[in-house]
Amino acid sequence: MRIGVLALQGDVREHLSALAAVGADAVRVRRPSELDDVDALVIPGGESTTIGKLLVTFELLEPVRKRVRDGMPAFGSCAGMILLADRVLDGTADQIGIGGIDMTVRRNAFGRQVDSWESDVAFDGEPLHAVFIRAPWVEQCGDDVEVLARAADRIVAVRQGSLIATAFHPELTGDRRVHALFVSMVKEQAT
């Protein structure tokens, strides 16, 4: 079982080491052939508009969309959450997404109040320290979407089938529970 980290922009290295810390074989994905070699994909935090444009440049947009449609597990943090959303508010005019999760996210939603902040969120019933950087929130989600965490009365982590997304950055803290959850989802799917 091998997990790819989309390595076009953003905190790629942090996701690679978080995945390695929970025992996963994690590799960078920058080409379609590298995507073919992984069982799951992490889409890192960074800048969703930039990652979207680079997905087109690197001829990865359609291949990633297809893998997600075909059931490949994926985990997006922050910009990655925006990319996995079916609908985006406050995007740029040319905002490009992958989609997959039946949700509407608002880009830079908390950012209008404060750019970067930290908070403990209840994740699976246990407190988890979460770092938010110009984070989106989930404004609306469909019936098939399970809410995993809220902060400031907003939905900040969700799961739909084999897709998970967090508005915060689990790759930037030492707490590996979100990565561990993702790896266990990938293992389940593989068996």
CB of 70 to ligand GLN, least distance (A): 25
Please identify which residue in the block is written with the tokens 């880009």: 107
Site track for ligand GLN across 5-44, x = CB under 6 A: ----------------------------------------
Q: Where are the alpha helices (DSSP H) in 70-176?
A: 79-84
| Binding status of residue 47 toward ligand GLN by CB under 6 A | yes
Q: Which of 87, 134, 154, 177 binds ligand GLN (CB under 6 A)?
A: 134
Residue 77 backbone phi and psi in degrees, to 5: -110, 130
Site track for ligand GLN across 146-185, x = CB under 6 A: ----------------------------------------
Q: Find the radius of gyration of the CA atoms of the chain.
A: 15
Cα 85 from Cα 5, distance rounded (Å) = 18
Contact present, 60 and 68 (Cβ < 8 Å)? no
Please identify which residue in the block is written with the tokens 């902040």: 117
Cα 139 from Cα 33, distance rounded (Å) = 35
Q: Which of 48, 160, 162, 166 binds ligand GLN (CB under 6 A)?
A: 48
Cα 166 from Cα 88, distance rounded (Å) = 15
- Report the chain's terminal Cα–Cα distance, integer Å: 10
Active-site residue flag, 171: yes
Site track for ligand GLN across 70-89, x = CB under 6 A: --------xx--x-------
CB of 2 to ligand GLN, least distance (A): 24
Cβ proximity to ligand GLN, 108 vs 173, nearer residue? 108
- Looking at residue 79, what DSSP letter applies? H
Cα 175 from Cα 156, distance rounded (Å) = 17
87-116 residues near ligand GLN, rule: CB under 6 A: 107-108
**Positions marked catalytic:** 78, 169, 171
Binding positions for ligand GLN, rule: CB under 6 A: 45-48, 78-79, 82, 107-108, 133-134
